[in-house]
């Protein structure tokens, strides 16, 4: 029993030191509207062109290449990573749309000939 009491005291001391290390904002009541801690990144034309150029060469960028590109363009590694993820989705959707239109056109041609 004596051992359990000392563990509890150590735990409460740890808990109080952790609580004091947390920012005060986390203990305040919610205000209804949630404020974002980040804003949407707006890339410059030079950055966008650099990203697009690399995407044309390499759809899936490796970690070392991503870090180098980020450093070259003045972006963070995370920004480049997310940009490539979003760009691949855009590429897939446009590719699927082109294939769908092509299929629709080939289906319409035999009907219009008669």
Q: Which domains does the chain have, with CATH numbers?
A: 42-114 (1.10.10.60)
Closest Cα to residue 91, out of 67, 65, 58, 64?
58
The pLDDT score that the predictor gives to residue 39 is: 85
The pLDDT score that the predictor gives to residue 54 is: 97
Q: How far is CA 75 from the centre of its chain?
A: 14
> pLDDT per position in the chain (114 positions), as tens?
555 454 444 444 444 444 444 444 445 555 667 676 778 889 999 999 999 999 999 999 999 999 999 999 999 999 999 999 999 999 999 988 888 888 888 887 665 555
Q: Report yes or no on whether pTM surpasses 0.85.
A: no
């Amino acid at each position: 029993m004596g051992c359990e009491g000392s563990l509890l005291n150590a735990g409460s001391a740890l808990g109080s030191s952790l609580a004091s290390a947390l920012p005060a904002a986390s203990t305040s009541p919610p205000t209804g509207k949630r404020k974002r801690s980040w804003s949407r990144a707006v890339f410059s034309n030079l950055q966008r062109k650099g990203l697009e150029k690399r995407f044309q060469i390499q759809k899936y960028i490796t970690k070392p290449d991503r870090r180098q590109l980020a450093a070259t363009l003045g972006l963070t590694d995370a920004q480049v990573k997310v940009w490539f993820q979003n760009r691949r989705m855009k590429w897939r959707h446009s590719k699927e749309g082109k294939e769908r239109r092509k299929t629709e056109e080939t289906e319409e041609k035999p009907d219009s000939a008669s």
